[in-house]
Chains A and B, each alone.
Chain A
């Protein structure tokens, strides 16, 4: 018995990981197409199918239940499309309506089943919140095969899927092929949902498709990286859920998996290199440091234009002194002087400022008194190649609109 449990645990783990991976992978496509919640609707719509299948079969045969779920889910998808096409009803309310009506019907059937004397109706409940620990070997084999199948499909049609998501206008031009992919995508999506139902449950399947994918998209915008990352996140989440549900009896798997995925999302939200807020805050801080330093260098350069070559230590704050020195911009002694490097760097900032002002006035019809504020910002943003370009367009001017020199002394 002990041994059996252990082996079974392995199967549960494998199944869960396969599940998490598959949902993570497909989830990226769903989120990018803004159809994340469609998975929610379809999962809820599957419930009555499960109940009816059970009533017909009389016992809990997984394949039969899943077939029922499939039919019911597809029926739900059809209803949504029909409502949107045939009436004024918009997509979001159609989804909410179908979701809740089908689910309500499913609940009716479930409560009806509960009154029946037949013994094997337990376990239908697991479809609500999921119970990974209840997975049998055969379930896992089914799940893994479907996972491999979807993996294959995604692999083969990778290019087309990519185009389909990012450039649906182009895809529309292709007409028939676009329809085909719409259906294909819908089918593997529904299959994945079906497979999730047992482990995660109807109510929370949506999260499997959305949260790991959303977390992945905070790290990268490139499709391949997002998919890989999402697969990883999804697998970790569902493995955690499976583990907990094996160890703690009676704990529904769905919520644990969602919690794990949400924690990953939270972490990504804060620290991810593209979208994370902590990251962005750090970037902002670095930028303002750069701006402060450049402003100081510019001021020093302008001082040299009026003949000042030395400054007192007390004129500049300690932090800035330190920064200037560590970058090799100043020589320090009792008095501060600019190094050649410092002089050139200061000039560059000032040049960018004045050059931008010139460009605005000569090419953009700005008036003299409107250009300063703009140049204050742009002087830190213009890159050297852009400066060259501007210079060549303007014909290498010597002075800016205020008469200040554009050339180094």
Chain B
């Protein structure tokens, strides 16, 4: 029986006043390559943000390696959506990747030679070494994603969360990133990806979480990717549920 590395229990989260996640409940076993999918507004990014403490849930909790997030921070890497960042910021590729070491350093301390080395290694893994002094606004979407990934890699985590890493990325980068994720899995790490494209799920992942405000299904990919489940997740708005969301928001 595999260890549970990530567990969500009865999680209800509101965006503004309206709940976008309702009583969500699932757990992820170690070493899986997980896809979290669902229609837009289904609460996928909200799930991630709540897990890291960016949002406060109305109820429920999320646990990592059976502990609170703040206790195991250094074992977890988060790759936010690319568009959540202003790429005009004055920084080079190397600057951004080095930021991945900041968590290990803690407040005030400065990055050391060993941190620089780890950042370089991460850059090698994503094949971006020649870009290391390039300004981040001079990168393509795929290259930016690689930089984010490199930053996550030098965090040396056991659990990786990526928010829509394949969105707007060229096919070469997509395959390259996926290969990296697979390598991570082979090293015993767990990778959770909020994925935008239900079509490619089968090709890349081995565990599926279907989300549409509430949990539709969670389990090994083959058995969870059924027509029934897909309908429940994508088959149009559930009148009752959306009415309930509204009523809740207006109380």
Contact = CB atoms under 8 A, between A and B. Distances in A.
Nearest to A88: B88
A222 B90 CA distance: 42
A390 B240 contact: yes
B10 A287 contact: no
Interface residue tally on B, bucketed by range: 20 to 34
Nearest to A389: B240
B225 to A, nearest CB: 16
Interface string A367-386: 10011011001101111001
Contact of A383 (B214, B247, B248): B247
Contact of B215 (A365, A373, A374, A381): A365
Contacts of B247: 378, 381-383, 386
Given A88-B88, A360-B23, A365 B217 contact: yes
B71 interface: no
Interface residue tally on A, bucketed by range: 20 to 34
A364 interface: yes
Contact of B241 (A364, A367, A380, A381): A364
Contact of A370 (B23, B217, B248, B251): B23
Interface in B7-65: 10, 12, 22-23, 25, 59
A221 B10 CA distance: 35
Nearest to A365: B215
Interface string A341-377: 0000000000000000001100111110011011001
A364 B217 CA distance: 10
B240 A386 contact: yes
A370 B25 contact: yes
Given A364-B241, A374-B22, A386-B243, 8 more contacts: A359-B240, A363-B238, A365-B215, A365-B216, A370-B10, A370-B25, A381-B244, A386-B247
Interface of A: 88, 90, 287, 359-360, 363-367, 370-371, 373-374, 377-378, 380-383, 386, 389-390, 393
18 contacts: A287-B251, A360-B23, A363-B238, A363-B240, A364-B214, A365-B217, A366-B23, A366-B25, A366-B214, A371-B23, A373-B59, A374-B22, A381-B244, A381-B247, A382-B244, A383-B247, A386-B240, A386-B247
Interface of B: 10, 12, 22-23, 25, 59, 88, 137, 214-217, 238-241, 243-244, 247-248, 251
